[in-house]
Amino acid sequence: MFGLDKKDTTMLLVVAIMALFAPFILNPFPADSAMAQFNAGYPDLMQRFVIFGIFAIGFNILFGLTGYLSFGHAAFLGVGSYSAVWMFKLLSMNVIPAILLSVVMAGLFALLIGFVSLRRSGIYFSILTLAFAQMSFNLAYSVLTPITNGETGLQLTLNDPRVLGVSQTADGSIPVTSLFGLEMRSTYEMHLGPWLFQFNAGYYLSALIMLASFYLAIRIFRSPFGMMLRAVKSNQQRMNYTGLNTRPYTLAAFVISGMYAGLAGGLMASMDPLAGAERMQWTASGEVVLMTILGGAGTLIGPVVGAGFIKYFENIFSKINDNVLHQWFAFMPDGLEDAMVFIVHPFIGKGWHLTLGILFMLVVIFLPGGLVEGGQKIAAWVRKKRNKGSDDTTTKTEPAE
């Protein structure tokens, strides 16, 4: 289907189904139970999952295929966001032109940075991209304040000169971003017993775009172009000796992944029309590297998994506070309860970085291939068990068909 082989089609379908039913999958606990703390099925976080998924997929096209480790990809995300917000300010609140402009601007920006940075490889390339990204960050933070509004971030105001559309709505507020009238923030809430599921227009738009990006990534991975990029990764010198110029290939990969980042930035601004300079900071660039490595660099699904993992920690673990802990351990005797809270305390709330760091270390040490490798190992283990089970059918219960 779609020019993919059977395995890739299955993977695409699985991702599509996961994306479609995410509001159910991410909200497994009833809304008023103690475990509701771990529910992630609210619009903002679901949007972040898929948007950072796009960002990581794009990054993986460069890092996973060519092995060029860019430490400045957040710059493209930022450029995308700023372009999108300016489009909202000047042209219209429709998200399509905003997203298009953000992709184009990020592409141009990537062409410029890539052209310079790709003259070097290895650590020098990483440092060059990092330098460019920090430069962009500082420009956005203070020098280009009229364009970026500095630290406060670029926001919509009540007197934006919008060419298509109104500066403010009839009741005197700022119009919201929409897709031909479908408001990005509109959410349909479904109450099912004690459960609450939220279906958000913005999320589904992002998810559709993520699926399209994922499909494109598969095609790139399986194409002769993708093969060429892999060859660059395995031995660039040998390629050069055979008379091939690899520069155009790496530059193309760099620009494509930059455009993916711009797309993610544009989508972020479409969901929430604000662009801040800290989106371009080196920590943001580092985050996408972490996502890709955590999920599994060079695999198709890995970066998406990694992105989801990190965003989940950032948004869910950082919100657990001591009060919540006391509720959890309330069943214990007083002294023990306090002791438990004391032990767990450093790992939640503002300590979420610590938890994530420990997990990252464990993954890198025990699963060098990322979470995807973990999944494969479990799958292999289950298969082995099942094969053994078919030999002597007495002990193991078969999973239901």
Partner 1 sequence: MSNSNVTRRGVLKTGTMVGAGVALPTIFTASSAAAYTNEPTGSSVTLGFNVPQTGPYADEGADELRAYELAVEHLNGGGDGGMMNTFSSKALQGNGILGKKVEFVTGDTQTKSDAARASAKSMIEKDGAVMITGGSSSGVAIAVQGLCQEAGVIFMAGLTHSNDTTGKDKKANGFRHFFNGYMSGAALAPVLKNLYGTDRNAYHLTADYTWGWTQEESIAAATEALGWNTVNKVRTPLAATDFSSYIAPVLNSGADVLVLNHYGGNMVNSLTNAVQFGLREKIVNGKQFEIVVPLYSRLMAKGAGENVKGIHGSTNWHWSLQDEASKAFVKSFGTKYGFPPSQAAHTVYCQTLLYADAAERAGTFNPCGIVEALEGYEFDGLGNGKTLYRAEDHQCFKDVLVVRGKENPTSEFDLLEVVEVTPAAQVTYAADHPMFAGGQLGTCNSGS
Which of 141, 312, 313, 360 lies at the binding interface for partner 1 (CB under 8 A)?
141
Looking at the Cβ atoms of 334 and 401, the one nearer to partner 1 is: 401
Q: Under the criterion CB under 8 A, does residue 162 sit at the interface with partner 1?
A: no
Select from 40-48, 66-74, 125-133, 248-256 the region that touches partner 1 (CB under 8 A): 40-48
Give Cα 128 to chain centroid, integer Å: 23
Q: Under the criterion CB under 8 A, does residue 135 sit at the interface with partner 1?
A: no
Looking at the Cβ atoms of 30 and 150, the one nearer to partner 1 is: 150
Total residues in contact with partner 1, by rule CB under 8 A? 45
**Contacting partner 1 within 49-108 (CB under 8 A):** none
Q: Under the criterion CB under 8 A, does residue 392 sit at the interface with partner 1?
A: no
Select from 92-100, 216-224, 270-278, 295-303 the region that touches partner 1 (CB under 8 A): 270-278
Decide: 212 and 218 in contact? Cβ < 8 Å: no
Looking at the Cβ atoms of 218 and 348, the one nearer to partner 1 is: 348
Q: Under the criterion CB under 8 A, does residue 146 sit at the interface with partner 1?
A: no
Closest by CA position to 79, among listed 52, 98, 56: 98
* Residues 110, 62: Cα–Cα separation, whole Å: 12
Which of 7, 146, 161, 171 lies at the binding interface for partner 1 (CB under 8 A)?
171
* Residues 210, 48: Cα–Cα separation, whole Å: 11
- Residue 396: how many CB atoms within 10 A of its CB? 13
**Contacting partner 1 within 175-214 (CB under 8 A):** 176, 185, 187, 189-193, 198
| Shortest separation between residue 145's beta carbon and partner 1, angstroms | 9
Q: How many helices (H) and strands (E) does the chain have?
A: 16, 6
**Contacting partner 1 within 321-340 (CB under 8 A):** 321, 323
Looking at the Cβ atoms of 85 and 297, the one nearer to partner 1 is: 85
- H or E element in which residue 275 lies: strand 274-275
First to last CA, the chain: 25
Is 275 buried (19+), middle (13-18) or exposed (0-12) by CB count in 10 A? buried
| Shortest separation between residue 29's beta carbon and partner 1, angstroms | 12
158 φψ region: left (φ > 0), alpha (ψ -120 to 50), beta (else) = alpha
* Residues 136, 144: Cα–Cα separation, whole Å: 10
Phi, psi of 194 (to 5 degrees): -80, -5
Q: Under the criterion CB under 8 A, does residue 5 sit at the interface with partner 1?
A: no
- SS3 for 190? strand
Select from 4-12, 313-321, 328-336, 379-387 the region that touches partner 1 (CB under 8 A): 313-321
Q: Under the criterion CB under 8 A, does residue 355 sit at the interface with partner 1?
A: no
Select from 35-43, 219-227, 233-241, 254-262 the region that touches partner 1 (CB under 8 A): 35-43
- Residue 198: how many CB atoms within 10 A of its CB? 16
**Contacting partner 1 within 274-293 (CB under 8 A):** 274, 276, 278-279
Decide: 157 and 273 in contact? Cβ < 8 Å: no
Residues at the interface with partner 1 (CB under 8 A)? 32, 39, 42-45, 48, 141-142, 150-153, 155-159, 168, 171-174, 176, 185, 187, 189-193, 198, 272, 274, 276, 278-279, 314-315, 318-319, 321, 323, 349-350
